[in-house]
Homo-oligomer: A and B are copies of this chain.
Amino acid sequence: MLIDFIADYHSNIEQYPVLSRVKPGYLRQLLPPSAPYEAEPIEEIMKDIQTHIIPGITHWQHPSYFAYFPCSSSTAGILGELLAAGFGVVGFNWEASPAATELETIVMDWFGEMLSLPKPYLFSGGGGGVIMGTTCEAFIVMLVAARDQKLAEIGKDKIGKLVVYCSDQTHCALQKAAKVVGIRPGNVRAVATTRAAAFALSPDSLESAVLADVEMGWVPLFLCATIGTTSTTAVDPLKPLCHVAKEYGMWVHVDAAYGGSACICPEFRHVIDGVEGADSFSLNAHKWFFTTLDCCCLWVKNPDALKRSLSTNPEYLRNQASDSGGVIDYKDWQLTLSRRFRSLKLWMVLRSYGVANLRSFLRGHVAMAKAFEKLVAGDDRFEVVVPRRFAMVCFRMKGSDDDDDGDEGANNLMNKKLLERVNGSGRVFMTHALVGGIYLLRFAVGSTLTEAEHVMEAWKVIQEHADAIQGDYKHLY
């Protein structure tokens, strides 16, 4: 019944407004104040899901969902999650379910090979991969490993000296992760990027920042480079960045949460050229790789650095296999002890679709984004703000005149209004970013159900509202 319910949900999803229209507090008015004393039939619960829950859902799987980044799902991914829940194992160490650990090592090698990751990132090359929930966890783990390694060199009381580098486009999760692990909030350097450089981190700017810090007695610890930033899918140039970072003894993590998936297509692989110079690399298979949330794939060259920081060995978890040293206990590679059997869904996605289909799904999204970019470029009222790299288009309405007055300017306001109206229509959901003072609209193609017609329809909706807004503006001025 539930499988049918989900199948129906996906079949009928287009009937719902993409962005939920409920008002804050709507659900508390609909549900009883306490848990029921007696059991309730599943039919009753499903009825409530239909009438109370679904209206409060912003439909990330809707084919007209173009907001944030996708959280692309698939039948294989959902079934893998179901199967993992059905087995209900907790694979914190090898013994607690050997298959959970071993499948993860195998699948991470498979996937790493598909991405052409350099051998030292794979188990077969002395490194290895692990599946976490999200990139935020990967950031914390990498920072802890790097921190402890550095403090072992410079002295345990020097945590206040450590500095983390990134760009002003790096995901906010890095700042948060640095704070969590005890780096002084003032010691995260978000190096400024420019529109001229398509918002990529400049190795020269990085080096200047590092030099200034070193002169002041700070200790460079960590560089996070991004492949596909959140605001504009900018790509930081790995090779020269790693060169600078290594000169100063930093750990380099490559956050390819969104853009990494594309590297299974040979024509995109160049975006991670230079990854051989980094220490760790992660991407979210739940973003643009058809594996349900959560599934962050992290590869590291030196798993021992993680294990030195994160191992626990209480008597109640001891067992012969672990004591032998011949197995992987993933609890020592991550923050938490308990872990779900996440490799199952990734394995099912890889096998159910195969490399060929996965490439063509991604290429399909890129083609749709390309088509959308062309539509935007062909309409005088609009402009593409930065060249498209993957399957996301950053665009905006041009102002009626050419002089903006900064990020509070009329143009930004107009685009904000446009976004509100488009999202309010329920027919499309997009989100925005603010870069270099420019308020831009992000059109991120990646929902598994999206087809060319949905992109065309979205463009029509955007144009209609642009017409209306131009009318308003004419009226006002």
Residues of A within 8 A of B (CB): 2-3, 5-6, 9-10, 19-20, 22, 24-28, 31, 33-40, 42, 44-45, 49, 52-61, 68, 71, 73, 76-79, 81-83, 85-90, 94-100, 102-103, 105-106, 109-111, 113-114, 133-134, 136-137, 140, 144, 147, 156-157, 159-160, 171-173, 175-176, 179-182, 184, 230-231, 286, 292-294, 309-310, 312-317, 320-321, 324, 326-327, 335-338, 340, 344, 348, 350-357, 420, 431-434, 442
Task: Let me know if B42 and A352 touch, CB within 8 A.
Answer: yes
Known: A83-B2, A314-B172, A326-B24. Is A335-B136 also a contact (CB below 8 A)?
yes
In angstroms, Cα B159 to Cα A321, docked, is 38
Copies in the complex: 2
Q: How near does chain B come to A64, taking the closest CB pair, in angstroms?
A: 15
Among B6, B99, B103, point to the contact of A86 (Cβ < 8 A): B6
Task: Let me know if A133 and B94 touch, CB within 8 A.
Answer: no
Task: Let me know if A88 and B106 touch, CB within 8 A.
Answer: no
10 contacts between A and B (CB under 8 A): A5-B86, A24-B94, A45-B351, A56-B97, A82-B85, A88-B293, A136-B338, A175-B312, A315-B434, A316-B432
For the residues of A in contact with B, the DSSP-based class is helix
A292 / chain B contacts, CB cutoff of 8 Å: 85, 88
Task: Let me know if A293 and B90 touch, CB within 8 A.
Answer: yes
A350 / chain B contacts, CB cutoff of 8 Å: 35-36
In angstroms, Cα B420 to Cα A271, docked, is 52
Task: Let me know if A78 and B89 touch, CB within 8 A.
Answer: no
Q: How near does chain B come to A349, taking the closest CB pair, in angstroms?
A: 10
Task: Let me know if A81 and B87 touch, CB within 8 A.
Answer: no
Task: Let me know if A309 and B179 touch, CB within 8 A.
Answer: yes
Task: Let me know if A82 and B293 touch, CB within 8 A.
Answer: no
